[in-house]
């Protein structure tokens, strides 16, 4: 057999044992979860034995040999059992958690940075996203190093273990295109080419599409098809015929023969190739023949190790590694095997074949021919195991007050641009750590001034030709390694995955970045799963979404967001704000720059939450700001500590209600003038009318829910911010809520202290028009607010409405 030139025979022998061990432990973990554990209430918990086995060899080669401490890996979601098994062998995963695989507090079904204890680099689960994350993490690494940070450590490779059907996901292709534009390097995608998806066997010749596609985008492609046994057999008499037969064999047939085993191989090969390969076949037993025909490169350690070792440049590389789904297991190759589980009887046979004694299933080195000491010595010197503990994240101090020059009339979007422009002028460290990015809407989301000062990022400097040709332009579009803006193509998925990568830089590169991404609010939906993914793995960033809502009047319904505020409330790990005024925005941005740096390690807990708000502010998260292009008259006011706190906590009284308040109007965002006007219009006919400015429905709601839970646990004095605000109101007071977004965003306010409530907002697709046209049409103008107040509260008819009538 061809031996690897890159590993000693002794080490290879140990690796082969570890490969068996990974296959065993992963299979046993899944089996245990389904057949042994008593706690699953009769639920079949599954676990993807076949999908995991497909990658057992590749992961053995990587983790126990080829990966270096600085490398980072996104593991195909369904290979999670392998990952946990490998970490268990290293001593980084506990038996208790493996025994509780897929159960409460157990090892996670899909590798999770936040829920697993065994140092997962990137979470995976929604196929395609972890793959793209490695690409953007490589760009993030380049960004960090180009800015002179973390250069004392060697450059890492970002590696994705990819299912072949995972490449159906469009976001992968969006990422490849962006990677090409950005000069991607240090990125390996290893495709587990088992030619099966969940339901079926994949189309013939898919590998050739992959190959040409990756090559077109500048990737190096390495096809790993035959293992060392097959390569040796090709040198025997008739070997070339065998190779040609394999190359022409349809995927379905190959899979079926793998499943059927040695005798079926013998029959079929004899039928097809006859005496040409008689001696090749005759010299092998059925078992040996089956081993030969399943010796694809993805299950051959020497071939894999040589290929990884030989790929010693930094060009992005796609390995297409032929594998067998369910390799080494009874349902190998069967097209129905995705959710397949071994029966207890099959498991007994497998256990015996693995030399594992009953009762010793969890013993790390059980059944191995090599003595435990030798294995342990080997494990202790594995390169990847040398990377040590995660470095604690550094934090960058941020000023309490961000500089901003207020104009008397301005929009929050203009204000955002102005604040960033001011930040760009400072020499402070936090300004250097900010990295902005936008999917082709940099200028239209008002990042232009920031980019003019701080420049665009590229590893190679690139001049602005318009500038050098002296064509007048407002924007200086110069690229350099020091630039602080990463300009993306339009794909919003890429924005969120890049934010995910930049927002994990503290964990992956040991260097904190303060990422700010901008896009149009309605297009959050385009990248929503990637946003969810970024939050799930606790990446930290500020998302600025602007413009928003029907306030974008002449742009029409295709650009007007309705559900975005509800996304902001419901998305875990993302604190959503919708300020109306620029002084509010300055306070929120300063808060956000600190909030995204709060230590995210450990479980967030309400028990350590602020007693003022009942929010989990100690553990932080990401931030979403919903901004508007509507110019509003700015309040002239002093930013008191109380006001600042109210803005951050989610609401403050713009006009405090009197003791006998009959109506309170609660508004969020760009409809502030309508709310203010409505309060004025009804002031003579309703007593003590109050005006509540809501800056974060999300934080108000979260605090309220948490405070209720705290009281139910016996903390009788727990009060959230919104409860304190609304407890001032008499019971008969009516509440009118209004925003340019779905009315449910604020509708719950009535339940806080039991006030009758009418919630105004937008429920149906927008359309073109002027702001007054549309506010009237959708019922969020001052007339609608006053009408709602009249309908809600007893008393004489409001004169203003009568006059209109």
Ligand X SMILES: Cc1ncc(C[n+]2csc(CCOP(=O)(O)OP(=O)(O)O)c2C)c(N)n1
- What residue ranges bind ligand X (CB under 6 A)? 51, 54, 77-78, 126-127, 163-166, 192, 194, 196-198, 325, 338
- Please, which residue, 160 or 691, has the CB nearer to ligand X? 160
CB atoms within 10 A of CB 793: 23
Give 54 or 548: the residue with its C-beta nearer to ligand X: 54
CB of 127 to ligand X, least distance (A): 4
Token pair for 454? 């701080």
User: Other C-beta atoms within 10 Å of 347: how many?
Assistant: 21
Which CB atom, from 46 or from 150, has the smaller least distance to ligand X?
A: 46
**Which segments within 682-754 are labelled E, that is strand?**
690-694, 734-739
Coil, strand or helix: which one is 564? helix
| Least CB distance to ligand X at residue 74 (A) | 13
Residue with tokens 């080419």: 193
Do you know the residue count of the chain? 805
Smallest separation (angstroms) from ligand X to the CB of 169: 6
Separation CA 449–CA 345 (nearest Å): 69
Report the residue number, 111 or 262, with the smaller CB distance to Mg ion.
111
Nearer to Mg ion, 165 or 368 (CB): 165
Partnered with residue 758 across adjacent β-strands are: 736
**Residue with Cβ nearer ligand X (54 or 133):** 54
The option from Mg ion, ligand X, none interacting with 414 (CB < 5 to 8 A, set by class) reads none
User: Which partner from the list Mg ion, ligand X, none does 593 bind, CB cut-off 5 to 8 Å by kind?
Assistant: none
Q: What are phi and psi of 750, to 5 degrees?
A: -65, -25
**Number of CB atoms found within 10 A of residue 207's CB:** 18
User: Which range touches Mg ion (CB under 5 A), out of 83-91, 159-167, 591-599, 617-625?
Assistant: 159-167
- Residue least distant from ligand X (Cβ): 163
Q: How far is the CB of 33 from ligand X (least distance, A)?
A: 17
Write each residue from 663 to 692 as x if it is in contact with Mg ion (CB under 5 A), else as -, in one continuous string.
------------------------------
Pick 134 or 597: Cβ nearer ligand X? 134
Q: Which of 51, 46, 97, 95 is nearest to 75 (CA)?
A: 51
Q: Does 620 engage in binding with Mg ion (CB under 5 A)?
A: no
We find the least distance from the C-beta atom of residue 748 to ligand X, in angstroms, to be 31
**Member of 29, 196, 295, 323 binding Mg ion (CB under 5 A):** 196
Which candidate, 505, 491, 496, 495, places its Cα nearest to that of 530?
496
Cβ at position 138, least distance to ligand X in Å: 21
- Cα–Cα distance between 100 and 428 in angstroms, integer? 48
User: CB under 5 A: which stretch of 26-34, 129-137, 160-168, 409-417 binds Mg ion?
Assistant: 160-168
Choose one: 164-172, 266-274, 401-409, 413-421; the region binding Mg ion (CB under 5 A). Answer: 164-172
Q: Is 163 in the site for Mg ion (CB under 5 A)?
A: yes
| Residue 126 near which of Mg ion, ligand X, none (CB within 5-8 Å, type-dependent) | ligand X
Give the integer Cα–Cα distance in Å for 152 and 386: 16
Contact partner, 780, from Mg ion, ligand X, none, Cβ < 5-8 Å per class: none
Residue with smaller CB distance to ligand X, 77 or 766: 77
Q: Which of Mg ion, ligand X, none does residue 166 bind (CB under 5 to 8 Å by kind)?
A: ligand X
Told to check if 194 binds Mg ion by CB under 5 A, we report yes
- Contacts of residue 267, defined as CB under 8 A and 6 or more positions apart, other chains included, come to none
- Options 162-170, 367-375, 438-446, 782-790: segment touching Mg ion (CB under 5 A): 162-170
Does residue number 366 form part of the binding site for Mg ion (CB under 5 A)?
A: no
In whole angstroms, the minimum distance from the beta carbon of 573 to ligand X comes to 19
Site stretch for Mg ion (CB under 5 A), options 193-201, 287-295, 567-575, 638-646: 193-201
Nearer to ligand X, 331 or 614 (CB): 331
The least distance separating Mg ion from the CB of residue 71, rounded to whole angstroms, comes to: 23
**Looking at beta carbons only, is 165 or 632 nearer to Mg ion?**
165
Cβ atoms of 328 and 290 within 8 Å: the answer is no
Report the interhelical angle of 412-425 vs 582-595 (nearest 10°): 60
Choice between 201 and 375, CB closer to ligand X? 201
Q: CA 524 to CA 538: how far, in whole Å?
A: 18
164 forms part of the interface with Mg ion (CB under 5 A): yes
For residues 76 and 485, which CB has a smaller minimum distance to ligand X in the complex? Answer: 76
* Closest C-alpha among 128, 134, 123, 124 to residue 67: 134
Instruction: Give the count of beta carbons closer than 10 Å to the beta carbon of residue 724.
Output: 14
Q: Give the Cα separation of 661 and 690 in Å (integer).
A: 7
Alpha helices in 250-299 (DSSP H): 251-260, 262-273, 278-282, 286-293
Residue 78 binds which entry of Mg ion, ligand X, none, CB below 5-8 Å type-dependent: ligand X
Among 191, 185, 187, 184, CA closest to 209: 191
> Do the beta carbons of residue 584 and residue 647 sit within 8 Å?
yes
Identify whether the C-beta of residue 565 lies closer than 8 Å to the C-beta of residue 739: yes
Q: Closer to ligand X at the Cβ: 79 or 552? A: 79
DSSP-derived 3-state class of residue 757: strand
Strand pairing report for 514-519 and 542-545: parallel
Residue 632 exposure: Cα atoms within 13 Å on the Cβ side: 27
What are the CA-CA distances from residue 581 to residues 36, 634, 657 (Å)? Answer: 60, 6, 21
Pure H helices in 426-470: 429-433, 448-454, 465-468
Q: Which of the listed partners (ligand X, Mg ion, none) does 114 bind, with a CB threshold of 5 to 8 Å by partner kind?
A: none
d(CA 347, CA 151): 49
Q: Tell the smallest beta-carbon distance from residue 522 to ligand X (Å).
A: 22
Residue 340 near residue 51 (C-beta atoms within 8 A):
no
Span near Mg ion by CB under 5 A; candidates 190-198, 328-336, 393-401, 550-558:
190-198
Q: Which does 198 bind (CB under 5 to 8 A by kind): Mg ion, ligand X, none?
A: ligand X
**Least Å from the CB of residue 313 to Mg ion:** 28
For position 169 contacting Mg ion by CB under 5 A, the verdict is: no
- Residue 51 near which of ligand X, Mg ion, none (CB within 5-8 Å, type-dependent): ligand X
Q: Minimum distance from CB of 325 to ligand X (Å)?
A: 5
Token couple for 742? 């779905």
Minimum distance between the CB of residue 209 and Mg ion, rounded to whole angstroms? 15
> Shortest CA distance to 796 belongs to which of 662, 666, 665?
662
- What is the contact surface with Mg ion in residues (CB under 5 A)? 163-165, 194, 196
């Amino acid at each position: 057999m061809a031996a690897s030139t890159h590993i000693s025979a002794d080490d290879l022998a140990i690796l082969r044992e570890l490969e068996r061990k990974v296959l065993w432990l992963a299979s046993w973990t899944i089996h245990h979860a389904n057949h042994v554990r008593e706690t699953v209430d009769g639920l079949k918990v599954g676990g993807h034995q076949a999908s995991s086995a497909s990658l057992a060899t590749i992961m053995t080669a990587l983790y126990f040999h080829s990966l270096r401490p600085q490398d980072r890996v996104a593991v195909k979601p369904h290979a999670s059992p392998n990952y946990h098994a490998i970490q268990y062998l290293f001593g980084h995963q506990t038996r208790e958690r493996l025994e509780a695989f897929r159960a409460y507090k157990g090892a996670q079904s899909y590798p999770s940075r936040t829920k697993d204890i065994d140092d997962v680099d990137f979470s995976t689960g929604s196929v395609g996203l972890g793959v793209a994350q490695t690409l953007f993490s490589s760009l993030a690494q380049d960004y960090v190093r180009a800015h002179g940070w973390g250069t004392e450590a060697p450059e890492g490779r970002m590696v994705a273990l990819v299912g072949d059907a995972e490449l159906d996901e469009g976001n992968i292709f969006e990422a490849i295109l962006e990677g090409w534009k950005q000069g991607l390097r240090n990125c390996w995608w290893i495709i587990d080419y088992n030619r099966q998806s969940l339901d079926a066997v994949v189309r013939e010749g898919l590998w050739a599409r992959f190959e040409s596609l990756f090559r077109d985008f500048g990737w190096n492609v390495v096809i790993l098809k035959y293992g060392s046994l097959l390569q040796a057999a090709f040198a025997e008499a008739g070997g070339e015929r065998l190779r040609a037969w394999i190359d022409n064999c349809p995927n379905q047939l190959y899979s079926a023969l793998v499943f059927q085993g040695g005798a079926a191989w013998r029959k079929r090969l004899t039928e097809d190739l006859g005496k040409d390969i008689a001696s090749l076949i005759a010299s092998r037993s059925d078992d040996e023949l089956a081993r030969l025909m399943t010796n694809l490169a993805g299950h051959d350690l020497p071939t894999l190790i040589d290929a990884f070792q030989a790929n010693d440049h930094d060009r992005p590389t796609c390995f297409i590694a032929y594998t067998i789904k369910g390799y080494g297991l009874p349902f190998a190759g069967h097209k129905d095997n995705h959710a397949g589980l071994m029966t207890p009887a099959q498991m007994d046979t497998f256990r015996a074949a693995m030399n594992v004694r009953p009762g010793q299933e969890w013993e790390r080195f059980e059944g191995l021919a090599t003595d435990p000491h030798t294995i342990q010595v080997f494990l202790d010197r594995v390169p990847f195991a040398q990377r040590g503990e995660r470095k604690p994240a550094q934090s960058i101090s941020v000023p309490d007050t961000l500089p901003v020059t207020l104009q008397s009339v301005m929009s929050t979007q203009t204000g955002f641009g102005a604040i960033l422009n001011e930040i760009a002028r400072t020499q402070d460290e936090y300004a250097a750590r900010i990295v902005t990015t936008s999917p082709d809407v940099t200028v239209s989301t008002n990042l232009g001034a920031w980019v003019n000062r701080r420049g665009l990022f590229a590893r190679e400097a690139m001049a602005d030709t318009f500038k050098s040709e002296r064509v007048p332009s407002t924007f200086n579009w110069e690229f350099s390694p020091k630039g602080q803006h990463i300009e993306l193509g339009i794909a919003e998925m890429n924005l969120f995955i890049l934010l995910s990568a930049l927002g994990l830089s503290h964990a992956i590169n040991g260097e904190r970045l303060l990422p700010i991404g901008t896009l149009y609010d309605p297009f959050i939906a385009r990248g929503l799963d990637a946003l969810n993914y970024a939050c799930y793995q606790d990446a930290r960033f500020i998302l600025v979404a602007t413009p928003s809502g029907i306030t974008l009047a002449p742009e029409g319904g295709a650009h007007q967001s309705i559900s975005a505020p509800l996304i902001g409330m419901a998305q875990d790990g993302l604190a959503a704000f919708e300020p109306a005024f620029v002084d509010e925005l300055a306070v929120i941005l300063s808060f956000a720059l600190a909030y995204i740096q709060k230590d995210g390690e450990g479980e967030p807990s309400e028990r350590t939450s602020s007693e003022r708000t009942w929010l989990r502010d100690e553990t932080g998260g990401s931030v979403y700001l919903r901004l508007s292009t509507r110019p509003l008259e700015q309040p002239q006011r002093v930013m008191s500590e109380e006001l600042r706190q109210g803005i951050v906590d989610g609401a403050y009284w713009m006009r405090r209600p009197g003791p006998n308040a009959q109506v309170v109007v609660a508004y969020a965002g760009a409809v502030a003038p309508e709310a203010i006007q409505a309060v004025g219009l009804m002031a003579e006919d309703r007593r003590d009318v109050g005006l509540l400015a809501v800056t974060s429905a999300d934080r108000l709601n979260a605090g309220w829910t948490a405070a209720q839970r705290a009281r139910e646990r016996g903390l009788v004095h727990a009060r959230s911010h919104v409860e304190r605000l609304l407890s001032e109101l008499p019971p008969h007071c009516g509440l009118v809520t209004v925003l340019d977004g779905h009315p449910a965003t604020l509708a719950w306010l009535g339940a806080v202290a039991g006030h009758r409530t009418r919630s105004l907002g937008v429920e149906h697709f927008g359309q073109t028009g002027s702001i007054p046209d549309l506010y009237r049409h959708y019922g969020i103008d001052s007339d609608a607010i006053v009408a709602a107040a009249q309908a809600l509260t007893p008393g004489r008819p409001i004169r203003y409405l009568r006059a209109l009538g």
